[in-house]
Amino acid sequence: MPNNTIGSSSTLIDYQPEIILLEDGVEEYPLVQEILSRLPSEIPRKKFQDISTLTEQMRSSQHDVFGEGKKRLALSRFKGSFLKKCPGISPGMVCCNYYVVNLAKNCIYDCSYCFLQDFLGNNPMQVAYVNVEDLLGELEEVFKQYPDRNFRVGTGELTDSLALDATIPYTAYLLPFFNQQTNAVLELKTKSDQVANLLNHSDPTNIIVSWSLNPQTIIDLEEKGTPSLAQRLESARACIDKGYRVGFHFDPIILIPGWEEAYRQLIDILFDSLPIAKVEWVSLGSFRYRPSLKHIIKNRHPETRLFTSEHLPGKDGKFRYLRPLRNHAYETIRGYLKSRSEELSVYLCMETREIWEGVTGKTPRSDKKLDQFFDL
């Protein structure tokens, strides 16, 4: 049974790539000059013309392509449309009207449950797209085209939104832009404590910073290289003090032996550490995975406790805990949260309407605070 201390996480990653890969012509972008100025000059740099060709060349000789890819930083242009509807939308699942912008691929952290191990399993690089000006132009056009629609935009789908912000300062571009919007907010979803650029920015308008949280015992075992629970909450407090809106994601909830007490202690620590009235929401989501990911997890993380319970496929093809287990977990954890604050908005991520109504007794649109984000 976990004790009632926050503890410390595994060794944190001070990111310095082994090599910097530069697409021809990217040096003209201000962001590239900023990135290069922040990394040691002795790190080797290599030019390339086509990222698809480079990817094929680099993946062929690697045993752990995904893991090794974290050590190489490729700076490239993104040539498609940046803004997309959340691809997490699945058959039978409630949608929270989320949009994503993918400015980077791969993540310096190495969480055992991460779907990127499968989705980006053959990607041998940490890719950062540097044509941010194109992104901002696209967003401005879309937001103006739909003035009556509320856009909640996140950057944390294929990477952690802030883990590399000290090296690749996307927030220096994104924050001033979203500060000026009337129908859009930016959510920076993270496990990191890299909030220095946020604290140095003068305006928190339209910015939500959200942290993925788990009990420290799970962080130690399943979230390698990430800041501890204490460090995440300290960063959240600093952002609250600066005026930022914050949220938390208990996702994925992992049902280890003694999980009820572990999550109760997590909630006590959260409420004792922060002014909970300043928290926009807490989301709950259970561990879920596509069948192809299980073998990868077991190979890359043999010590994992993710598969100690039975899982079955849902309508979307993803495996989840049995429905009674999920119901019990959501009801228990939501009950802990509501016992500390009845006003706190709690929503479920990637779950069915039946689970929603069974756990909360209402549909998502019954919550006025979240209503602006749900489009059913």
Give mean pLDDT, residues 83-94.
Answer: 64
Tell me the pLDDT tens digit for each residue of 305-325.
999 999 999 888 999 999 999
**How far apart are alpha carbons 284 and 253 in whole angstroms?**
7
The pLDDT value recorded for residue 248 is 98
**How far apart are alpha carbons 121 and 66 in whole angstroms?**
5
Q: Is the pLDDT of residue 349 over 90?
A: no
Phi first, then psi: give them for residue 190, nearest 5 degrees.
-155, 160
Q: Is the pLDDT of residue 149 over 50?
A: yes
Q: Where do we find the tokens 């909630």?
A: 267
The pLDDT value recorded for residue 9 is 39
Tell me the pLDDT tens digit for each residue of 175-217.
999 999 999 999 999 999 999 999 999 999 999 999 999 999 9
Ranges 55-59, 74-78, 352-356, 359-363, most confident: 74-78
The pLDDT value recorded for residue 366 is 42
**Residues 311, 319: contact at Cβ < 8 Å?**
yes
What are the structural domain ranges in the chain? 19-371
- More confident call, 59 vs 184: 184
Give Cα 280 to chain centroid, integer Å.
17
Tell me the pLDDT tens digit for each residue of 122-141.
889 999 999 999 999 999 99
DSSP 73: E
Which of 171-175, 232-236, 318-322, 361-365 bottoms out in mean pLDDT, i.e. has the lowest?
A: 361-365
The pLDDT value recorded for residue 6 is 35
**How far apart are alpha carbons 178 and 295 in whole angstroms?**
40
Tell me the whole-structure pTM to 2 decimals.
0.90
Give mean pLDDT, residues 58-70.
Answer: 80
Domain 19-371 coded CATH 3.80.30.30: yes
Confidence of residue 237 (pLDDT cuts 50, 70, 90): very high
Give mean pLDDT, residues 167-172.
Answer: 97
Q: What is the Cα gyration radius of the chain?
A: 20
Q: Is the pLDDT of residue 92 over 60?
A: no
Residue 192: CA count within 13 A, CB half-sphere: 25
